[in-house]
Amino acid sequence: MSEEKMVSLNAIDDQLIEKARKEGIETMWDRDKAMKARCGFGEKGVCCRICAMGPCRVSPVEGKGAQRGICGATADTIVARNFARMVAAGTSAHSDHARDVAHVLHMASRDGNYQVKDEKKLIALAQEWEVPTEGRDIYDVAHEVAEIALNEFGKPFGTLRFPNRAPAPRQKIWEDLGITPRAIDREIATVMHSTSVGCTADAESMLRIAMRTSLSNGWGGSMLGTELSDIVFGTSTPRMTEANLGVLEEKQVNILLHGHDPCLSEMIVAAAQDPEMIKLAEEVGAEGINLGGMCCTGNEVTMRHGVKIAGTFYQQELAVLTGAIEAVIVDVQCIFPSLAPITDCYHTKFITTSPKAKVEGATHIEFNEEVALESAKKIVREAIENYKNRKQEKVFIPNSKSQAITGYSNEAVVKQLDRVVNSHIDPQGTVKPLADVLKAGVLRGAAGIVGCNNIKTKHEYSHIEIMKKLIANDVIVVTTGCAAQAAAKAGLLSKDAIKLAGKGLQAVCELVDIPPIIHLGSCVDNTRIIRLVSAVADHLGVDNSDLPVVGVAPEWMSEKAVAIGTYVVSSGIDVFLGITPPVTGSPEVVDILTNRIEDMTGAKFFVEENPLKLTDMMLERIEEKRIKLEKTLNLEAVEKHEPQPAL
């Protein structure tokens, strides 16, 4: 297949799609063909089906066709409402995930399945929340912290706690705009209310409500997800792993762990290491149990345990097509319903575990946190017992995999930077070295590259091209979600990738001993990125929007990405999208998101589907911000290095 025709950067994906065709199995690429063009009204965001007088499809062209819905809603209103609902849905997903982790912290006990793994982080959070810690049992502290966390979802008065962590000028901006988030559930409910028939009909006001809701995700639900997961499951440290479908093992029981919630995946990891399970695997003739992670669950377990990364979102069907997987174990989010029919074509068991995400045709074994390990063992046992049903003649394990370093937490980043550059100044570590190299222009800036895969683009092409071009231009990259896994598969999370970096970034990577692209975890862990940016801003005494920092979602597809993008812009960081969001039916909404929002938050959205052009836009914006920062901090302008020629 020619480079052009390939669906992804990996030849093995095409081999597996070919295998599917030969075996008469339908994949997303077949459904994409059958779908043909997408609905033009939906794509522009001008379809409203909020009440039963509709659905109303108003014309995206002024003066032509229906200009208003039956109730009189304009394209601006309809587009803004639809956008706000995407933000609310994304916020609910991340935050509900965090709620489950908070419950698990609440049930944690010294001899239980869930324990406090990072006491230091728990104590720090307790102190931040003014929970007494002196002379108390750590589990009493944990339960009180968990209860406070749970109250963040529905407290009747006041605003959330974590926005206090933002730089002071940022908090002031939020206050002035009236978008400091209140309780998480309340913000989601407010969007649902305001978007219902006959409520908000003013695009700017609607978008402000959406911004506040998104902040209840970034500085609320998602941040709780990260913090509490670190407390219960441990704060990650860098570790070596491997990535891509070649991590599957021919002679072992292969389990694909897919979804998002570490409450399940942590227990599956424990169950797979249990001697009883290993013995059972031997009894069925396997040489062991091999876990492969996918999507954000893959990120969670690789960062804390080094579990190998089987693949990204778009590879979920391809993984099954290898014929070598005994069970796909899932919880919530990003799970294709097509896994039910596709696993039916093989011996593979598709096991759903959450009442929030049952799938017709799957085997449902409900995961019970109260008896977590036992529950996980029951699920793993199903997988092991299925090994004998594997049909050798149907197995094709691609031999492709790459080395990667995963599992940086902010704590790990700071420690690494500090150990080399600054340890004599502050034993706790600070972001000073990072701020210094940014200030000095050794690094031109930083980019957070996050998000999904989308069939509308060649898979991972945008992720990889953007990453390579940024590092060649001395922009350090941090990455999460499926973007991080794309980087892992492309070998960009290894120290070998240092040679692709510009001179300045090369020098930093070598000195600090890090790859030029740093794995910061799962989608909820985008909060690690906003906290890192905020720490640097605080250190320099400026706001986030003053820093040469960008957020990028090259191949996004999920509502969660819309929520993330909105909280990142609301936090003062520009967001570059490689897929056009469904807002183009309203010139007003487009103008707010890509222009006027900058007057409110100091940042805005940029949209461009060509990844190289998109990167040029980022680099330009980074240099613009540098010039401003140099003035603010009274620095001498520092010349940019010539970029590293493409290797």
Q: What mask of x and - would describe binding to ligand SF4 in positions 188 to 217, judged by CB under 6 A?
A: ---------x--------------------
Of 179, 307, 414, 482, the one binding ligand XCC (CB under 6 A) is: 482
Torsion of CA 373, 378, 384, 386, to 10 degrees: -160
Task: Locate 177 and state its tokens.
Answer: 């705009």
517 vs 493: CA distance, rounded Å: 6
Kindly report the backbone phi and psi dihedral angles of residue 450, in degrees, each rounded to the nearest multiple of 5, phi listed first: -135, 170
645 vs 626: CA distance, rounded Å: 23
CB of 483 to ligand XCC, least distance (A): 7
Q: Which amino acid is at 157?
A: F
| Nearest of 382, 234, 396 to residue 306 by alpha carbon | 234
Q: What mask of x and - would describe binding to ligand XCC in positions 433 to 462, judged by CB under 6 A?
A: ------------------xx----------
CB of 258 to ligand XCC, least distance (A): 9
Q: How many CB atoms lie within 10 A of CB 275?
A: 7
8 sits near ligand XCC (criterion: CB under 6 A)? no
243 vs 485: CA distance, rounded Å: 7
| Nearest of 245, 240, 250 to residue 305 by alpha carbon | 240
Residues recorded for the chain: 647
Q: Choose among ligand XCC, ligand SF4, none what residue 334 binds, the Cβ cut-off being 5 to 8 Å by kind.
A: ligand XCC
Residue 26 is classified by DSSP as -
73 sits near ligand SF4 (criterion: CB under 6 A)? yes
Q: Do the bridges between strand 363-364 and strand 349-352 make them parallel or antiparallel, or are there none, so unpaired?
A: parallel
Q: Is the Cβ of residue 68 or residue 143 nearer to ligand SF4 in the bound state? A: 68
Per-residue CA distances from 544 to 171, 189, 295, 414 (Å): 11, 29, 29, 18
336 sits near ligand XCC (criterion: CB under 6 A)? no
Q: Is the Cβ of residue 312 or residue 545 nearer to ligand XCC in the bound state? A: 312
| Nearest of 83, 293, 30, 120 to residue 205 by alpha carbon | 83
Q: Choose among ligand XCC, ligand SF4, none what residue 51 binds, the Cβ cut-off being 5 to 8 Å by kind.
A: ligand SF4
Q: Is the Cβ of residue 41 or residue 350 nearer to ligand XCC in the bound state? A: 350
Taking CB atoms within 8 Å and a gap of at least 24, the contacts of 504-507 are: 504/437, 504/441, 504/442, 504/443, 504/444, 504/474, 504/641, 505/442, 505/443, 505/471, 505/474, 505/475, 505/476, 506/644, 507/442
Q: Which segment (45-53, 101-109, 411-419, 566-574) binds ligand SF4 by CB under 6 A?
A: 45-53
Q: Choose among ligand SF4, ligand XCC, none what residue 296 binds, the Cβ cut-off being 5 to 8 Å by kind.
A: ligand XCC
54 sits near ligand SF4 (criterion: CB under 6 A)? yes
313 sits near ligand XCC (criterion: CB under 6 A)? yes
140 vs 147: CA distance, rounded Å: 11
434 sits near ligand SF4 (criterion: CB under 6 A)? no
Of 123, 475, 523, 549, the one binding ligand XCC (CB under 6 A) is: 523
Q: Which segment (64-72, 242-250, 521-529, 609-617) binds ligand SF4 by CB under 6 A?
A: 64-72
Q: Which segment (53-61, 150-158, 304-312, 492-500) binds ligand SF4 by CB under 6 A?
A: 53-61
49 sits near ligand SF4 (criterion: CB under 6 A)? yes
CB of 55 to ligand SF4, least distance (A): 6
Kindly report the backbone phi and psi dihedral angles of residue 38, in degrees, each rounded to the nearest multiple of 5, phi listed first: -80, 160
Q: How many residues bind ligand SF4 (CB under 6 A)?
A: 14
Q: Which segment (31-39, 46-54, 122-130, 186-194) binds ligand SF4 by CB under 6 A?
A: 46-54
Q: Which segment (47-55, 129-137, 430-438, 440-448) binds ligand SF4 by CB under 6 A?
A: 47-55
CB of 451 to ligand XCC, least distance (A): 5
Task: Locate 233 and state its tokens.
Answer: 């499951």
Angle at 155 between CA 597 and CA 199, to 5 degrees: 50
Q: Which amino acid is at 451?
A: G
Which residues within the stretch 540-559 sit at the binding site for ligand XCC (CB under 6 A)? 558
334 sits near ligand XCC (criterion: CB under 6 A)? yes
- End-to-end, the C-alpha distance of the chain in Å comes to 23
Q: Is the Cβ of residue 421 or residue 455 nearer to ligand XCC in the bound state? A: 455
Q: Is the Cβ of residue 161 or residue 560 nearer to ligand XCC in the bound state? A: 560
Of 9, 15, 43, 71, the one binding ligand SF4 (CB under 6 A) is: 71
Task: Locate 110 and state its tokens.
Answer: 């010294």
Of 293, 433, 441, 481, the one binding ligand XCC (CB under 6 A) is: 481
Contact 451, 526 (CB under 8 A): no
290 sits near ligand XCC (criterion: CB under 6 A)? no
575 sits near ligand XCC (criterion: CB under 6 A)? no
Give 404's strand partners: 241
| Strand ranges (E), 455-505 | 475-480
Q: Choose among ligand XCC, ligand SF4, none what residue 49 binds, the Cβ cut-off being 5 to 8 Å by kind.
A: ligand SF4
Contact 585, 75 (CB under 8 A): yes
Q: Choose among ligand XCC, ligand SF4, none what residue 69 binds, the Cβ cut-off being 5 to 8 Å by kind.
A: ligand SF4
Per-residue CA distances from 67 to 58, 76, 232, 367 (Å): 6, 10, 53, 50
Q: Choose among ligand XCC, ligand SF4, none what residue 9 binds, the Cβ cut-off being 5 to 8 Å by kind.
A: none
Q: Choose among ligand SF4, ligand XCC, none what residue 568 binds, the Cβ cut-off being 5 to 8 Å by kind.
A: none
Of 16, 28, 56, 362, the one binding ligand SF4 (CB under 6 A) is: 56
CB of 72 to ligand SF4, least distance (A): 7
94 vs 224: CA distance, rounded Å: 9
Strand order in the sheet with 475-480: 517-521, 475-480, 445-449, 549-553, 574-577, 605-607
Q: Is the Cβ of residue 308 or residue 390 nearer to ligand XCC in the bound state? A: 308
Q: Choose among ligand XCC, ligand SF4, none what residue 55 binds, the Cβ cut-off being 5 to 8 Å by kind.
A: ligand SF4
| Residues of the shown chain interacting with ligand XCC in the complex, contacts defined by CB under 6 A | 295-296, 313, 334, 451-452, 481-482, 522-523, 558, 560
Residues of this chain that bind ligand SF4 (CB under 6 A): 48-51, 53-56, 69-71, 73, 78, 197
